[in-house]
């Protein structure tokens, strides 16, 4: 068994995490979170999304957040764009990468972005074209690749189908997302295998929510297949407003601890990352979902 020697983490906390918060989070706090993540060594940060503020009011401050970040040249800042309207607004804020987001499940596609899978691809195509013409990288998030809150289990063939559609419109890399955190290692490996019909292993990232506590096992299962890009969320924040009952992404602190233990380089300073997680958890008046961060903080105060 050979595991990758280096892994790149994308922290999606400012977007996936904060999109799901009931209480409004001030722009200054979001900006500070991004600054703390980059200070901890994150080289990719999903900052916000350019979606309808009626659908997701928590992301209505997208342009202000993007404008307020002091960027580091070696960090990639990505944003979600579901359609041309979102892309045009995002373009003004100079993202390094945009993310179109589709689903392997028809029902989830309709609930989340109000259109079928086929219609979503029609909407994404001009976005992808415009982004690539502007020199902006394009990622495709694929939701519900193992299970859907409305349709139950999702067959790998449907993941392969969606990955093929994404490839066909020029999406450069894709996320295999377990939106509701129901996956277990073999199921996640099957979803990745299906994606490999259209994308190379270096163009695939794992995006695992942790509802059933399987996200670290799923991460390990993906690592065994050679996946070296993962999305995670500081303090385990996260969830999708259109996937009721789903909890946060796997915590970045927990993934970093796992990878460090395996001797895999992430370039991330775990102590600084724990501080970033404590900052946002304190702001939200909540305990971190990261077991690793909790253990490290307890040790510090012991």
Residues found near ligand HMG in the complex (CB under 6 A):
16, 19, 49-52, 55-56, 80, 82-83, 85-86, 101, 112-114, 141, 143, 177, 179, 207, 209, 240, 242
Q: Which is nearer to ligand HMG, 209 or 294 (CB)?
A: 209
Q: If you compute the radius of gyration of the chain from its CA atoms, what whole number of angstroms results?
A: 18
Residue 31's Cβ-count burial label (10 Å; 0-12, 13-18, 19+) is: buried
Triad 227, 207, 191: Cα angle to 5°: 65
Among 11, 16, 46, 178, which residue interacts with Mg ion (rule: CB under 5 A)? 16
Please say if 144 is a catalytic residue.
Answer: no
Instruction: Tell me how far, at minimum, the Cβ of 18 lies from Mg ion, in Å.
Output: 12
- 145 vs 46, 72, 141, 176, CA distance in Å? 20, 33, 10, 6
The one of Mg ion, ligand HMG, none whose footprint includes residue 49, by CB under 5 to 8 A per kind, is ligand HMG
| Region of 11-19, 61-69, 194-202, 263-271 interacting with Mg ion (CB under 5 A) | 11-19
In the bound state with ligand HMG, the residue whose beta carbon lies nearer, of 250 and 270, is 250
Q: Residues in the chain, how many?
A: 302
The answer to whether residues 29 and 36 touch, using CB atoms and an 8 Å cutoff, is: no
Residue closer to ligand HMG (CB basis): 146 or 280: 146
How many whole angstroms separate alpha carbon 16 and alpha carbon 47?
9
Minimum CB distance to ligand HMG, residue 46 (Å): 8
User: CA 145 to CA 84: how far, in whole Å?
Assistant: 25
Give the one entry of Mg ion, ligand HMG, none that residue 197 binds, where binding means its C-beta sits below a cut-off of 5 to 8 angstroms depending on kind. none
Q: Which residues, other chains included, contact 147 with Cβ-Cβ below 8 Å and sequence gap of 6+?
A: 153, 154, 178, 179, 180, 182, 183, 187
> Of these residues, 115, 144, 148, 240, which one is catalytic?
240
| Cβ closest to Mg ion, residue 16 vs residue 210 | 16
Q: How many residues bind Mg ion (CB under 5 A)?
A: 1
Which does residue 51 bind out of ligand HMG, Mg ion, none, counting CB within 5 to 8 angstroms by kind?
ligand HMG
Query: Which residues 235-254 are close enough to bind Mg ion by CB under 5 A?
Result: none
- Give the contacts of 161 (CB within 8 A, at least 6 positions apart): 104
CA distances (Å), origin 113, targets 110, 174, 265: 6, 18, 36
Residues with catalytic roles: 240
Contacts with Mg ion by CB under 5 A lie at 16
């Amino acid at each position: 068994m050979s595991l990758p020697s280096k892994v790149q983490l994308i922290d999606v906390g400012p977007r996936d995490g904060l999109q799901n918060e009931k209480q409004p989070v001030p722009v200054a706090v979001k900006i500070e979170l991004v600054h703390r993540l980059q200070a901890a060594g994150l080289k990719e940060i999903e900052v916000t999304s350019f979606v309808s503020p009626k659908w997701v009011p928590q992301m209505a401050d997208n342009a202000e957040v993007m404008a307020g970040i002091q960027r580091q040249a070696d960090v990639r800042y990505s944003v979600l764009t579901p359609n041309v309207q979102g892309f045009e607004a995002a373009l003004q804020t100079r993202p390094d990468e945009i993310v179109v987001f589709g689903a392997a499940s028809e029902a989830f596609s309709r609930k989340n972005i109000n259109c079928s899978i086929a219609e979503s691809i029609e909407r994404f195509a001009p976005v992808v074209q415009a982004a690539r013409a502007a020199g902006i990288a394009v990622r495709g998030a694929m939701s519900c690749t193992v299970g859907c809150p409305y349709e139950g289990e999702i067959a790998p063939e449907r993941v392969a189908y969606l990955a093929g559609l994404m490839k066909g419109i020029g999406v450069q890399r894709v996320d295999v997302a377990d939106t509701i955190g129901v996956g277990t290692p073999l199921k996640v490996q099957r979803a990745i295998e299906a994606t490999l019909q259209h994308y190379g292993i270096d163009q695939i990232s794992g995006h695992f929510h942790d509802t059933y506590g399987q996200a670290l096992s799923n991460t390990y299962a993906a690592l065994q297949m050679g996946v070296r890009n993962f999305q995670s969320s500081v303090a385990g924040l996260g969830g999708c407003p259109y996937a009721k009952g789903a909890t946060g992404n796997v915590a970045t602190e927990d993934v970093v601890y796992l990878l460090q233990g395996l001797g895999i380089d992430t370039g991330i300073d775990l102590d600084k990352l724990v501080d970033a997680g404590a900052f946002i958890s304190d702001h939200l008046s909540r305990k971190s979902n990261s077991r690793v961060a909790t253990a490290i903080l307890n040790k510090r105060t012991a």
